[in-house]
Chain A
């Protein structure tokens, strides 16, 4: 329990609520004292005003009926059960009239307004011990007349004091209830936060332990914890994708690089075993160089893809005139296609330009054209290069269309992955990286690559956001 409490105190939520709690208590205490003092002084004022009015009244009685009339009135009023205190004494301090049983003698000695409240006991009350703290208190004024008669007129403070006491007690109780409530809320909020953090830590521990498919818990509350968990989950998803991508690539590398390496080794071995003439050795070495070049091409393509995918950090986009690239490439490839009985045509709007990297876009188009030649129609390959703006002018599309067999719809996503080659026999030379590189280049340019049916053939659409 204590350990959990000290752990809880380390959470931000608990610290914050503890701080709020303390501030709240301080404010509440201030409020209680302020309120009671305000109420007390208000009541005391009222008492004094009532007393002043009574003295005025008695003054009028005295003026009208003299001392005798005054004493009679006082005697009469003393019998009323109200808060006024009356006492009439003669020279020897003997009580002549009034409702006071006992009184501090210093009060009567001190003629005039009493500076501080005094204690007294009323006639008829059971408790007549004056020193007792429970005896009532009053404020008042002592008048002395020429014949030695003294009259005390006062008003009991019991009512305002009781009132003050009640306010203080009820505020105190309220404060106590609020304090306990606040503490409980704080405790449960902190504990709740701690529990959720514990769940997140447990999930993280499982993830660190190697289970990348694990996700942090997200509740329906959509509070800050959930938002944090959700964004961390997004990050985990990305890591998982990258990780599985990496694993796929490592598997593919193992497979696709092993084949040419084995072939390289076999050729060297064969040459050593059977080679007789210088010419045979030379031929074997040439073959091996070709094989190494193929391997180097694969490595370069892989490096380029990872660099492009990593965002090509040093890449500074420049204005690239797509029209020019398309025309250049159509011209570059025309003889190859003509020689194999096919044709390449280009149809492009003028001045199609985007911000990007000319070399990479050229490389992407070259890869697509190479693919169209390799996997297109063997008897009469026809390749169309089309460049156009979409109707809403939001995108610029480059389209490479062939008249080959196309790619089955369910395979179209897969061919964008690294080392995926649909041609299982591997009869055409290639690395299986061409389209992955195109996809990476399009991603760098914030564009998309889409594979479509061209009836017959394949249509690859590169879509760039227009400036």
Chain B
């Protein structure tokens, strides 16, 4: 995938570029809002990574102008600010996701991949499938190998999110944000416990694990 990093901290941008390159992505860089807008406007990126506070032109105005011109490229906002309201302003300006510095690279990569997938694959898909596990969003049926699995509503939403991003790493904060709609950082391993319960329901009695833990990052649904 091809990303554009618009970030005034050159060292941080270079670190991010190297890390993304190692993960097999192509990356362009711009170090201020004006250059960034010019590159982004040219198009051809799968997603933009935009810092909020930059010299010459701040990130939010770049995003707002791109959106005004009908550019729908997914944008991940990076910010040293990190309060709930900043997040809301960022998303309202046209950002698709928001990450506070300092961040773990795994978190950023997981979010980027989720964003790009969201940009490409339709959200309205009626059925998700990972291996022999299927989830029907309309009838709310979950089946594995033809056997129906009964889930609580929250477990269903959790599984739905994991399967929508099948093959991608999703982090604990992403789950808390998207399944529970809270944006804070619980000290205890609440998410892990929910995952292990879900895992119990979809894997007990089956040989092949589908829900994998990625150490230091999160979880992935994969065949």
Q: Which residues of B contact A359 (CB under 8 A)?
A: 84, 182-184
Label chain A's interface by main secondary structure.
helix
Known contacts being A296-B102, A339-B193, A362-B182, is A370 close to B84, with CB within 8 Å?
no
Q: Which residues of A contact B100 (CB under 8 A)?
A: 300
Q: CB-CB < 8 A to B183: which residues of A?
A: 359
Provided the pairs A293-B104, A314-B86 are in contact, do residues A335 and B194 lie with their beta carbons within 8 angstroms? yes
Please indicate the chain A residues that have their CB under 8 angstroms from the CB of B194 in the complex. Answer: 332, 335
Within 8 Å of chain B (Cβ to Cβ): is A316? Answer: yes
Say whether B189 contacts A316, CB under 8 Å.
no
A315 beta carbon closer than 8 Å to chain B: yes
In the assembled complex, the CB of B30 is this many whole angstroms from the nearest CB of chain A, namely 27
| Residues of B208-223 contacting chain A, CB below 8 A | 215-216
B186 near A303 (CB under 8 angstroms)?
no
Given the contacts A286-B216, A289-B216, A336-B193, A316 and B186 also touching, CB distance less than 8 Å: no
- Does A260 lie at the interface of the complex (its beta carbon under 8 Å from any beta carbon of B)? no
C-alpha gap A333/B215 in the complex (Å):
22
B15 within 8 A of A: no
Flag whether B139 is at the interface (Cβ < 8 A).
no
Asked if residues A328 and B182 are in contact (CB atoms below 8 Å), the reply is yes
Q: Which of B180, B182, B186, B215 contacts A286 (CB 8 A)?
A: B215
A373 contacts which of B83, B185, B188 (Cβ < 8 Å)? B188
Bound-state Cα–Cα, A430 to B187, Å = 8
> Who on chain A is nearest to B194 by CB?
A335
- The residue in chain B whose Cβ has the minimal distance to the Cβ of A362 is B182
The distance from the CB of B141 to the nearest CB of chain A, in whole angstroms, is 22
Interface string of B159-198 (1 = CB under 8 A from A): 0000000000000000000001011111111100110010
- Counting chain A CB atoms within 10 Å of each CB, which of B83, B197, B215, B216 scores highest? B83
Given contacts A331-B154, A335-B193, contact A357 B84 (CB under 8 A): yes
Residue of chain A at shortest CB distance from B154: A331
Check if A366 is an interface residue, CB within 8 A of chain B: yes
> Is the pair A328, B180 in contact by a Cβ cutoff of 8 Å?
yes
Judge whether A332 and B86 touch: CB under 8 Å: no
On whether the beta carbons of A370 and B85 are closer than 8 Å, the reply is no
Q: Give A300 to B180 CA distance when docked, in angstroms.
A: 21
| Shortest Cβ gap from A290 to chain B (Å) | 8
Q: In this assembly, does B43 line the interface, its C-beta being within 8 Å of a C-beta of chain A?
A: no
Supposing A286-B216, A315-B85, A331-B154 touch, asked if A366 and B184 sit within 8 A by C-beta, the answer is yes
Complexed CA–CA distance, A290 and B217 (Å): 11
Partner of A312, one of B85, B104, B197: B85
Residue A360 is within 8 A (CB to CB) of chain B in the complex: yes
Task: Tell me whether A27 is interfacial, beta carbon within 8 Å.
Answer: no
Residue of B102, B180, B185 touching A332 (CB-CB under 8 A): B180
Query: Please, which residue of chain A has its CB at the minimum distance from the CB of B152?
Result: A331
Q: Are A336 and B182 in contact (CB under 8 A)?
A: no
Q: Check if A307 sits within 8 Å of B83, measured CB to CB.
A: yes
Interface status of B44 (Cβ within 8 A of chain A) = no
Q: How far is the CA of A312 from the CA of B81 in the complex (A)?
A: 12
Residue B131 CB within 8 A of the other chain: no
A275-301 to B contact mask, C-beta < 8 Å, 1/0:
000000000001001100100110010
Binding site for A on B (CB under 8 A): 82-86, 89, 100, 102, 104, 154, 180, 182-190, 193-194, 197, 215-216
A-B contact pairs, 12 of them (CB 8 A): A286-B215, A286-B216, A289-B104, A312-B83, A314-B89, A328-B180, A328-B182, A335-B190, A357-B85, A359-B183, A362-B184, A430-B187
